[in-house]
Structure 1
Amino acid sequence: MADTTKSEAAGLPQPVVEEVAFSRQGLTDIQKKVAGNRVELLLEYPTVYIVYDKEKPHAYQVYVGETNNIEQRTRQHLEDDPLRREDWRYLAESSASQLLVIGHPHFNKSLTLDIENNMMLYMSGVESVKKLNNRRENQQNKYYTFKEKDKIFSAIWRKLHNFDPELFPIEEVVRDSALFKASPFHTLTKEQDHARELILRRIQAALHVPQGHQLILVEGEAGSGKTVLLSSLFYQLWQLGEDKNYSEFNTANSYLLVNHNEQVKVYENIAAKLGMNTANVSKPTAFINNEQTAAGVDVVLVDEAHLLWTQGKQSYRGENQLDDILARAKVVVAVFDKKQILSREGYLTTNEIHKLEHHAKQQGNWIQFKQQLRMNASEATQTWLTSLIERHVVDPIPADSSYDLKIFDDPVALYQAIQAKAQSKEHGLSRMLATFDWPYKNKPPKDGQLYRVTVGKLSLPWNLQLKPAKQQRGRMKRLAWAEQDQTIGEVGSTFTIQGFDLNYSGVIIGPSVKYRDGHVVFDPKASQNQKATTRRTLANGEKVYVDKELLPNELNVLLTRGVNGLYIYAVDDALRAALLAAQS
């Protein structure tokens, strides 16, 4: 009854969903279980369908498809596909496999393709789905009923949740998943779609006719959709490599690199779920060390290219990771944001950044993203943040009905507010963050204690120290930091949160950020981030301090994580007073 009410409120009829065994008998059972025009919707009109099997507890194998003839398509999956594909052989032979058939009075070919694509997006974000089988992505442009897609999909998902809550969790839970947010099945904006098509054309041309080492540089600020573009490219390159009509593409010769442990984990999980080779997801140093042949690789995609090292470090003996990657690949696609360079090891001078951009522009390979896709904030709120971070001024905080920006004068109250958001089904994924102004090292303290962020009466451990409950350790190990249950009791840093979203972020601005003479100033002596505050040796041998650029970048990363809200507490008395005054 609740579903009917929601559907009526939306002015749309209810979807029809029926579940039967995935077998020859199953379709006959539909006719016995469903009466009237509901049978017609399922058997004679376009439908979306899901075939799934629960291989073991908390582990599903799923196929999502759409068809104009569910009876014919099911026979094909049961009789023909198992002869060619192992995944279908498993599903056809398993006695536990189920078939969910979804119909709707407003379904047409374009809408079912879009619903199928959206279903793949959601399934890629469901933790219990270990294998997701489909060989395409089907984003559609505008069509007659395209404005109804989201409402119809939500009504379908609610019905599916009633069939199996583990396979179809509450919608908000799925959307909070890092896998969902980095999924290749997101509907691309015009800006993203244009960039993807341009990049694919450039790659195809370079593989047909050698053109030297090609650098395609995609620039955009935090939240501009760079990761979704890269994920979509990675998946499409794999698809083309599987297609015999595109012989120039080799799935084994396309790599995705990222210099961020948490993001590597996300991409590996996506690749495993979609049946791609997880060995093609790597950190840059491992790739460079393993691929010694010049231009031996076709395509390398680099996420968070601003994290690449521009000097030697530990196991990396080179001088510039991007140069070394370019030497090993015919085409390198790098997404880059100069405002997110955080470490002296990845520092680039202004001239070096201009040289990098000029190199890409000369080849016609420079792409710039201008849209802000992460934060549901007004332009005025985004301008306020930019003024704080880049112009170092505290302007009056604008009213914004769509974004919850709040200044706190008590760190305990801030933490309690973030805990309440995290426990709310409505608000979901929320965590504490802080500037790197309290000690932290990779090795635990000798006294057995934890490295902590302590402000007044609030004292919380830094990230990556609390252990998950014993029965959840295997599961939590696979999740990004913010998604792990126990991390609501920790404080995240740029090193764990960069590249990820939160619904609400609670940011403690530490003593390295002060307010003096009407301006925000950065004090490297109050920072514990030696990667930002110690000197960097430039190419000409000169040793310089680069904290004036890196510390504002750290603040930029932290203040741009929250999708729906940002809560701030400033340790510096003058800065806190200025922020509170700006709020009133």
Structure 2
Amino acid sequence: MIETIDAFDFEITEFDFDSFALSEITKRNLYVSDLWPSVYILISNEVMEAYVGESANIVNRLKNHLTHIAKSKLNKVFLITSPSFNKSATLDIESNLIKYFDADERYKLLNGNAGLASQNYYQKSLYGKVFIDIWGRLQTQQVTKAEISKLNNSDYFKYSPYKSLTAEQLESVTTILELLVNRDKQSIFIKGSAGTGKTIVGIYLMKLLLTDISIYEDENLDEDTLYLLELVKRYKQKVPNPKLALVVPMTSLRDTLKKVFKGIKGLGAKNVIGPSQISDGNYDVLLIDEAHRLKRRKGITNYRSHDDMNRLLGFDEEGTELDWILKQSDNQLFFYDPLQSIRPSDIPKERFDSLLRQSANSLIELKSQMRVLAGVDYIDFVDRLLEGKLKEKELFVKNSQYQFYLFDDLAQMIGVLRKKEEKDGLSRLTAGFAWPWESRAKDIHDIEIQGLKLNWNRVTSNWINSENAFSEVGCIHTTQGYDLNYTGVIFGGEISYDPVKKEIIIKKENYFDRNGKAGVEDPEILKEYILNIYKTLMYRGIKGTYVYIVDKELRKYIGNHIMEYKYA
């Protein structure tokens, strides 16, 4: 039993990957000859591909790999051994190496993603520190290139199909595959609030279904993984060479995922499409991310292209993107959260409810919070705060892992956010659409608060990672679907509080998203959209959310429920 692990209590040894090297590995490494659990990396700098594995019988496993068509083309092996390793530790290190290798982008991974499940074990946090040291050593040996902290903030890491799934996520993947195997045509709903990992489940499934399962034929797999692969095999026997695509309604997120998919072996940018790109034949499976943002013909920017698509597919002008998807696919996986619908152009919840009623036993719910470190309690608190359901002066329970503060001084909030940006990165200022976007056409500022002059995001695609993102203010359309470390949220003049009725109210004249209110006559519907916008913004921050409020009455109300920032 160990209480601490020496940071250098492991070895990384390089060998040629061929039959002659196997006996040399046995001679030179005690832990290999004694069948100690170890981790290994196979690489080729000619084809720039890699494979990561672990085994207690390294030599036998490498012999098997030498007979595998794809793996035998790799020519170097890096063996990671330690007297402190146990089976749980090596499985965890293997899993971490796979997802960080993918994000590092130096090599394309041959690994499939079946069996990558997150598990706890004794002293896991200590082995997490050992992994950081292993990664650093691999950097010095020029096997990897980027720092862990940089990779953690990258889109390639956040949207990796090699993420270790939680038990809940893995169960949902298994259920989806069982439904695909046992039914011919259906709509499956994967429902969950922001941060429950819906997108990760979708991307994991895409990789799993598009990976040649022969990549696993020389591996020893556990029963759960074997069952998962058996389901994939049965589906592909039922539908050889299935035609799949990930449909992403939001342009910015779609562009980001195209870039991520381009770097993954077996996937490509062509696997990520917009709703208007599904006219090219029938799909066996469409996975629809952020399905609540599918559009109808109301308050959209391009009526002509929408009408052209309806005519092409045989619909009148009332046809919607949801109709297109249902017609052009046999199976649909809707990754869905009705509380993130933010515009009148979004398909109404009632339409999804009707479809869901027709899809017996096809609802899968994700409940665990995977983004916000404050967990489900924070999500529930924000929801009740904006719905006016909190008890008088009820405060969010202080959480050592999460910073949640109200600011009276916007400059101070931006200053704190800047320090977080310098330390952790991905710290952004966001706001509700309470100011017109005038800088788009003129060289002027958009927002002025307390003497501070600010501008909306200058770019609409991948603003989160753009060069000047920190000095700009992101709107809902450039932040929805993305993770941030810290989020500053400005509540604008379109949202206030009525202390007599004790409820949040909306001032329509101060709401400047033209398409966000087009054709909305019912004030309660507009209120629902705007509340959903602020909830969605407040769910972005992994480590913290900072709030500034323009309206005095709303500030009084929220000030009774969020602690004020008091630090210098």
What residue in structure 2 maps to residue 321 of structure 1?
Answer: 321
Query: 8 Å contact 2:113–2:161 — kept in the other structure?
Result: no
| 2:335 pairs with 1:358 | no
What residue in structure 2 maps to residue 524 of structure 1?
Answer: 508
SS in 2 for 1:186: coil
297, 303, 306: which is aligned to 1:311? Answer: 297
What residue in structure 2 maps to residue 374 of structure 1?
Answer: 371
> CA, structure 1 residues 450+201, in 2 after alignment: closer, same or farther (shift >3 Å)?
farther
CA deviation after TM superposition for structure 1 residue 309, in Å: 0.9
> Residues of 2 paired with 1:452 and 1:562: CA distance?
24
> For structure 1, which segment, 547-556 or 184-193, has the greater mean C-alpha deviation from structure 2 after superposition?
184-193
Query: 8 Å contact 1:115–1:149 — kept in the other structure?
Result: no
> CA, structure 1 residues 240+27, in 2 after alignment: closer, same or farther (shift >3 Å)?
closer
> For structure 1, which segment, 18-27 or 333-342, has the greater mean C-alpha deviation from structure 2 after superposition?
18-27
* Superposed counterparts of 1:53-64, under 5 Å: 53=44, 61-64=49-52
559, 563, 566: which is aligned to 2:542? Answer: 563
CA deviation after TM superposition for structure 1 residue 40, in Å: 1.4
| 2:138 pairs with 1:163 | yes
> Residues of 1 paired with 2:274 and 2:138: CA distance?
43
Query: 8 Å contact 2:254–2:274 — kept in the other structure?
Result: no
TM-score (norm 2): 0.82
> CA, structure 1 residues 276+268, in 2 after alignment: closer, same or farther (shift >3 Å)?
farther
What residue in structure 2 maps to residue 495 of structure 1?
Answer: 477
Question: Residue type of the partner of 2:496?
Answer: K
> Residues of 1 paired with 2:528 and 2:11: CA distance?
55
SS in 2 for 1:432: strand
Question: Residue type of the partner of 1:162?
Answer: R
> Residues of 2 paired with 1:379 and 1:325: CA distance?
32
Query: 8 Å contact 1:114–1:138 — kept in the other structure?
Result: no
Question: Residue type of the partner of 1:489?
Answer: S
Query: 8 Å contact 1:404–1:566 — kept in the other structure?
Result: yes
CA deviation after TM superposition for structure 1 residue 492, in Å: 1.3
CA deviation after TM superposition for structure 1 residue 417, in Å: 0.7
What residue in structure 2 maps to residue 214 of structure 1?
Answer: 186
| 2:412 pairs with 1:422 | no
247, 262, 275: which is aligned to 1:257? Answer: 247
> CA, structure 1 residues 123+390, in 2 after alignment: closer, same or farther (shift >3 Å)?
farther
Query: 8 Å contact 2:379–2:539 — kept in the other structure?
Result: no
Deviations 1:271-328 (A, max 9, x none): 333212325423333332323xxxx321111110001112375323332212221222
| 2:388 pairs with 1:391 | yes
> For structure 1, which segment, 335-344 or 259-268, has the greater mean C-alpha deviation from structure 2 after superposition?
259-268
Question: Residue type of the partner of 1:482?
Answer: I
What residue in structure 2 maps to residue 539 of structure 1?
Answer: none
What residue in structure 1 maps to residue 90 of structure 2?
Answer: 112
> Residues of 2 paired with 1:524 and 1:251: CA distance?
51
| 2:43 pairs with 1:52 | yes
* Superposed counterparts of 1:239-250, under 5 Å: 239=211, 246-250=236-240
SS in 2 for 1:301: strand
> CA, structure 1 residues 521+49, in 2 after alignment: closer, same or farther (shift >3 Å)?
same
What residue in structure 1 maps to residue 434 of structure 2?
Answer: 437
> Residues of 1 paired with 2:421 and 2:340: CA distance?
26
Point out where structure 1 has 5 or more consecutive residues left out of the alignment: 1-6, 93-97, 467-476, 537-542
| 2:12 pairs with 1:18 | yes
> Residues of 1 paired with 2:202 and 2:99: CA distance?
15
Query: 8 Å contact 2:261–2:269 — kept in the other structure?
Result: no
What residue in structure 2 maps to residue 182 of structure 1?
Answer: 159
What residue in structure 2 maps to residue 300 of structure 1?
Answer: 286
What residue in structure 2 maps to residue 549 of structure 1?
Answer: 528
CA deviation after TM superposition for structure 1 residue 410, in Å: 1.2
TM-score (norm 1): 0.80
Question: Residue type of the partner of 2:431?
Answer: A
> Residues of 2 paired with 1:266 and 1:19: CA distance?
37
> Residues of 1 paired with 2:411 and 2:46: CA distance?
45
> Residues of 1 paired with 2:536 and 2:514: CA distance?
17
> Residues of 2 paired with 1:250 and 1:267: CA distance?
26
| 2:488 pairs with 1:506 | yes
Deviations 1:412-450 (A, max 9, x none): 1111111100111xx442111111122227x931x4x26
CA deviation after TM superposition for structure 1 residue 52, in Å: 3.4
208, 211, 220: which is aligned to 1:236? Answer: 208
Question: Residue type of the partner of 2:546?
Answer: Y
Query: 8 Å contact 1:125–1:180 — kept in the other structure?
Result: yes
Using the aligned pairs only, state the percent identity. 25
What residue in structure 2 maps to residue 226 of structure 1?
Answer: 198
CA deviation after TM superposition for structure 1 residue 337, in Å: 0.6
Query: 8 Å contact 1:299–1:329 — kept in the other structure?
Result: yes
What residue in structure 2 maps to residue 95 of structure 1?
Answer: none
CA deviation after TM superposition for structure 1 residue 259, in Å: 1.0
> CA, structure 1 residues 257+485, in 2 after alignment: closer, same or farther (shift >3 Å)?
same
What residue in structure 2 maps to residue 139 of structure 1?
Answer: 116
SS in 1 for 2:211: helix
Question: Residue type of the partner of 1:163?
Answer: L
What residue in structure 2 maps to residue 482 of structure 1?
Answer: 464
Aligned residues: 522
What residue in structure 2 maps to residue 461 of structure 1?
Answer: 455
SS in 2 for 1:407: strand
> CA, structure 1 residues 252+41, in 2 after alignment: closer, same or farther (shift >3 Å)?
same
